[in-house]
């Protein structure tokens, strides 16, 4: 007579021979999707930086701000790739959604778009964290997301909200110009707002 033992997820986690070094397959898929989101955000910010840098728009501060944001998002993708590699996971082919917008009527609209994008990325990181805890049972992945992403996302969203608030209270193009100068000089960084 063959007995089949049913093992729950919690009981499975207590098995001494379970290899906790490897990332669970479903969490690998979530991380791969997040890499694609981070690369998409990098391209969106690159588009914004390029748009504001052209001589017909001439907003070098906004251009610098968005180019810096593009680099930061690319760095996030690299952090995820490096983490997956350290944990023995293979990064599969990239499937990056291309930006759909290449012009903005003003700096305020671009900052609002950036805020929306950062909020979406932050929400996705929280979803991965939840799945790491409840589906994959991977405290190391949870710690990695908390240490490398969550605080930085909160700081970025806070900075963008404050910039949108500042520029929303400016009634003229002169206000945008002055904010542009401050962005260029770096005097409205995350720590200054």
148 marked ligand binding residue: no
Reduce the DSSP state of residue 3 to 3 states and report it.
coil
> Is the Cβ–Cβ distance between 176 and 108 less than 8 Å?
yes
Instruction: Enumerate residues 6+ apart whose C-beta is below 8 A from 141.
Output: 23, 27, 128, 132
Q: What's the distance, CA 106 to chain centroid?
A: 23
Helices 107-134 and 173-185 pack at an angle, to 10 degrees, of 50
Q: Cβ distance 191 to 162 under 8 Å?
A: no
140 is in an annotated binding site: no
**Known binder of ligand: residue 38?**
yes
Q: Is 152 annotated as a binding residue?
A: no
151 labelled ligand-binding: no
Binding residue numbers: 38, 73, 76, 118, 153
Binding residue numbers for Fe cation: 38, 73, 76, 118, 153
């Amino acid at each position: 007579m063959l007995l089949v033992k049913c093992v729950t997820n919690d009981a499975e986690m207590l098995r001494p021979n379970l290899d906790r070094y490897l990332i669970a397959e479903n969490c690998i898929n979530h991380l791969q999707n997040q890499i694609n989101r981070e690369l998409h955000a990098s391209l969106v910010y690159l588009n914004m930086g390029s748009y504001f840098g052209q001589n017909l728009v001439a907003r070098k501060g906004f251009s610098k701000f968005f180019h810096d944001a593009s680099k930061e998002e690319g760095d996030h993708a690299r952090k995820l790739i490096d983490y997956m590699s350290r944990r023995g996971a293979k990064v599969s082919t990239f499937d990056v959604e291309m930006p759909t917008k290449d012009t903005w009527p003003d700096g305020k609209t671009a900052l609002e778009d950036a805020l929306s994008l950062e909020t979406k990325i932050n929400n996705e990181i929280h979803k991965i964290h939840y799945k790491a805890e409840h589906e994959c049972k991977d405290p190391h992945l949870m710690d990695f997301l908390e240490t490398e992403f969550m605080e930085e996302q909160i700081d970025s969203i806070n900075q963008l909200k404050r910039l949108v608030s500042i520029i929303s209270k400016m009634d003229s193009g002169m206000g945008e110009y002055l904010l542009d100068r401050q962005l260029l000089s770096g005097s409205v960084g995350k720590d200054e707002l």
